[in-house]
Structure 1
């Protein structure tokens, strides 16, 4: 098994506002997804740290922005390695939270995605068994509007046959607009499907440019 470039991830802090996050330096990738899509399990599988992100049978437990540090990342041959992070954004969807808190997170996530200079890309977590929801489309369109790269993990692929998973991925790729800066793959934290591929994708986001040009939309 090849070495894991995301190994060594460590919890840094949980923030209620973006100004409480670590200094806006280096590079980071944000993880977003609906509350029941398997975001915490994906983070644990990718980092090889079973207890890194809290998992729960109750959707919506992540109600803060959680920062995890990574080993420094080299972003160019002649440049020194840069500080790197993963940011776990609050789950959205089935979380039973007050309207005021929901509105707070809508505002803070919008500010984070627009203002965070160290942000290099978004990993969008989507349950492979369901069509894209409003939140998923909102995140994809945001990435389009801000020219931010996005990699989609179609999680819980172990719940489908291999043929069904292939068909679901093909259907999604057909739905995505031509020229959209989005890549997608089948993934399962339960049986390890796509974990190595997803790790490479996260590293490519961390090492890549901040924005990519596109004119397409969903």
Structure 2
């Protein structure tokens, strides 16, 4: 039997499947302290970054939901770890963790120190953490706090933890600036994986969704 000329066009690509999977994201829980996070058996992906790096926008864009991740009107005021379930037909097969933004000047010093410790403990000890996505505004580059975070997770990366830097707001860069930002970020992460990402122009969205799918479903071709 001969297939119709347009039949192949209806077959979704791996990236389309990954985006459909990301769209299943739903709120699971919020935890003000590490000990309040529920244990679970699913692979977990953490999103981290400075308060103004566009983390909430990135998560909302990847999941195609407008207000899944809440961006506080006052940067740095979101003080909890938020978990989101992923999985079709309501069956969880992975979890996204939205960690509080760090580095905002108006946050009291004791709060900064407390959250730096909470994040460090999470990144070092969360047993089912499979990957970390670091959001960075390429106009400012990786900061000292980003470098500290890289050092915290380096031992786990060497043991197989997946790691990706997303250079957000890439639409604000011209081509030469984007190329330079990629080169600098790769040097700062010692050759780590870096992608340009723009919620406005949807640059890097499909590629990132597919990568997160592959991180959490390594057995799926």
**C-alpha RMSD of the superposition:** 2.1
Q: Pick one of 178, 191, 200 that aligns with 1:165.
A: 178
Q: Which runs of 5+ in 1 are unaligned?
A: 73-80, 210-218
Asked whether 1:202 is paired with 2:218, we answer: no
Per the alignment, in what secondary structure is the counterpart of residue 153 of structure 1? strand
For these two proteins, the number of residue pairs brought into alignment is 198
How far apart are 1:25 and its partner, in Å?
1.8
| Structure 1 residues 152 and 202, CA gap change in structure 2 (3 angstroms) | same
Instruction: Find the aligned partners of 2:185 and 2:79 in 1 and give their Cα distance.
Output: 28
Q: Pick one of 39, 44, 49 that aligns with 2:55.
A: 39
How far apart are 1:95 and its partner, in Å?
5.2
How far apart are 1:32 and its partner, in Å?
0.2
How far apart are 1:7 and its partner, in Å?
1.1
Asked whether 1:174 is paired with 2:177, we answer: no
Instruction: Find the aligned partners of 2:39 and 2:214 in 1 and give their Cα distance.
Output: 22
Structure label with greater radius of gyration: 2
| Structure 1 residues 114 and 176, CA gap change in structure 2 (3 angstroms) | closer
Q: Pick one of 103, 118, 122 that aligns with 1:112.
A: 122
How far apart are 1:82 and its partner, in Å?
6.5
Per the alignment, in what secondary structure is the counterpart of residue 22 of structure 2? coil
* TM-score, normalised relative to structure 1: 0.83
Indicate if the aligned counterparts of 1:35 and 1:95 stay in contact, CA closer than 8 A.
Answer: no
Larger fraction in helix: 2
Indicate if the aligned counterparts of 2:80 and 2:100 stay in contact, CA closer than 8 A.
Answer: yes
Q: What CA deviation, in whole Å up to 9, does each residue of 1:15-57 have, x standing for no partner?
A: 0111211223211100000000000000000111111011245
Query: Which residue does the alignment assign to 1:125?
Result: 135
Instruction: Find the aligned partners of 2:176 and 2:137 in 1 and give their Cα distance.
Output: 16
Query: Which residue does the alignment assign to 1:28?
Result: 44
Asked whether 1:87 is paired with 2:103, we answer: no
Instruction: Find the aligned partners of 1:102 and 1:84 in 2 and give their Cα distance.
Output: 29
* TM-score, normalised relative to structure 2: 0.82
Per the alignment, in what secondary structure is the counterpart of residue 184 of structure 1? strand
Asked whether 1:15 is paired with 2:31, we answer: yes
Per the alignment, in what secondary structure is the counterpart of residue 120 of structure 1? strand
Asked whether 1:156 is paired with 2:169, we answer: yes
Indicate if the aligned counterparts of 1:10 and 1:70 stay in contact, CA closer than 8 A.
Answer: yes
How far apart are 1:59 and its partner, in Å?
1.6
Indicate if the aligned counterparts of 2:53 and 2:135 stay in contact, CA closer than 8 A.
Answer: yes
Q: What CA deviation, in whole Å up to 9, does each residue of 1:101-153 have, x standing for no partner?
A: 22221221122112111100100000011121011111222221222321010
- Structure 2 counterparts to residues 136-147 of structure 1, below 5 A: 136-147=146-157
Query: Which residue does the alignment assign to 1:101?
Result: 111
Indicate if the aligned counterparts of 1:24 and 1:116 stay in contact, CA closer than 8 A.
Answer: no
